[in-house]
């Protein structure tokens, strides 16, 4: 507590800084109990699986995948980028209509599922139509985690894997 006495700024400000520091210490402590071996302990651990793109029939395309979060820290999918389109959006589907959203939640110890008829990635004005058997590379961007690169295998236009 020597630091506090040597500081010349106002008391209110010093107290506020201390509270903030305490909050940060608490947060990282909580994350550490969840994962002691990982260096980036306060980062959500995300795993992507089941990614695919149905072969597009028009100048837009959909992307589907599952993001698992194995950590105690929630995250958000905030954007997607791809060489296939300069305008990749994330959409939700409500009452069979889709609309753009700012982000999707990825709950702690949970998952985000992008499925046909539900939440999805939407590639607008695609630069070419990839064919079944090809791959489309994308990069997922998150609120907290670093970006993740994923290759979407292009499947038949009607492809719709069973959800379990
Ligand atoms: Cu859409």
For the segment 32-89, what is each residue's pLDDT rounded down to a tens digit?
444 444 445 567 899 999 999 999 999 999 999 999 999 999 999 999 999 999 999 9
Read off the pLDDT band of 146 (50, 70, 90): very high
For the segment 1-16, what is each residue's pLDDT rounded down to a tens digit?
444 444 444 444 444 5
Q: What is the pLDDT of residue 101?
A: 98
CA of 130 to the centre of ligand 1 (A): 18
Return the closest-CA partner of residue 91 out of 52, 124, 67, 56.
124
Whole-structure pTM value:
0.74
- Cα separation, 133 vs 97, whole angstroms: 29
Beta strands in 26-86 (DSSP E): 46-54, 61-69, 75-81
CA of 154 to the centre of ligand 1 (A): 17
The percent of residues in the chain predicted with pLDDT above 70, rounded, is 73
CA of 57 to the centre of ligand 1 (A): 14
State in words which class domain 43-155 has: mainly beta
Query: Looking at residues 129-152, what average pLDDT do you find?
Result: 97
CA of 92 to the centre of ligand 1 (A): 7
CA of 52 to the centre of ligand 1 (A): 15
For the segment 94-116, what is each residue's pLDDT rounded down to a tens digit?
998 999 999 999 999 999 999 99
């Amino acid at each position: 507590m020597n630091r506090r006495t040597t500081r010349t700024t106002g008391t209110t400000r010093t107290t506020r800084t201390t509270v903030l520091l305490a909050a940060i210490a608490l947060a990282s402590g909580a994350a550490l109990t969840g994962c002691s071996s990982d260096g980036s302990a306060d980062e959500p651990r995300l795993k992507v699986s089941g990614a695919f793109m149905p072969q597009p029939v028009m100048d837009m395309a959909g992307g589907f995948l599952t993001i698992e979060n194995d950590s105690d820290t929630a995250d958000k999918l905030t954007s997607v980028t791809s060489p296939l389109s300069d305008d990749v959006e994330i959409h939700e589907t409500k009452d069979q209509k889709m609309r753009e959203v700012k982000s999707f939640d990825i709950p702690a110890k949970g998952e985000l599922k992008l499925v046909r008829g539900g939440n999805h990635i939407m590639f607008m004005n695609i630069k070419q139509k990839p064919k079944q058997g090809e791959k489309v590379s994308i990069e997922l961007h998150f609120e907290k985690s670093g970006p993740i690169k994923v290759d979407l295998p292009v499947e038949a236009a009607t492809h719709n894997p069973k959800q379990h």
